[in-house]
Amino acid sequence: MTLASSKLCAEPDSKARLRLWLRLLRLTRGIENNLREKLRLEHATTLPRFDVMSALSRHADGLKMSELSGVLRVSNGNVTGIIDRLVEEGHVVRVPVKGDRRASAVKLTPQGLSEFATQAAAHEAWIDKALAGLDAQDAQHMADQLSALMTEGERHGA
């Protein structure tokens, strides 16, 4: 620790944070590219489509299109196109929204739920392998540190 500590003293903290940022970016990009490839090859699907089904799987009563768009800010997919396709395939169905006769929401069909369960299990296993170098406690500790950063960032509008 002595060498590392003396090195850290000799440079501003911003250098260590910049180094961390570059590694965060490289690791997440690497894992993400890997996930895209595996989803395509092994499940004939895409990351935005997986993200949509994942969001729907957490909302048994369905989600409005506007709510789904928020989910996809992350993966930059075209929600309408993805939903149209999922409806055609029988994975998703449109449902009325209580108290708003003109609006509709979408939810997974039992077939869609079952297909997503298969994909989600594979996804969890890939991530488990990619992050196998961290035990559960280290992973939890890092996740907590990242959460604290996010909360702070949101507080400061950063």
Closer residue to a second copy (CB): 102 or 156: 156
37 binds a second copy per the rule CB under 8 A: no
147 binds a second copy per the rule CB under 8 A: yes
Nearest distance, CB of residue 116 and a second copy, angstroms = 15
Closer residue to a second copy (CB): 117 or 143: 143
Distance CA 141, CA 61 (A): 33
Closer residue to a second copy (CB): 47 or 105: 47
Distance CA 96, CA 103 (A): 7
- What the block records as the tokens of 104 is 């509709």
Piece in contact with a second copy (CB under 8 A), picked from 59-67, 79-87, 89-97, 133-141: 133-141
Distance CA 99, CA 102 (A): 9
Burial of 44 (0-12, 13-18, 19+ CB in 10 A): exposed
Q: Considering only CA atoms, which of 143, 126, 115, 121 is closest in space to residue 56?
A: 115
Residues 65-104 vs a second copy: string with x where CB under 8 A? ---------x------------------------------
32 binds a second copy per the rule CB under 8 A: yes
Segment (H or E) for 47: helix 47-57
The amino acid at 45:
T
The residues of the shown chain that bind a second copy, judged by CB under 8 A, are 4-5, 8, 13-21, 23-32, 34, 74, 124-125, 127-140, 142-143, 145-150, 152-153, 156, 158
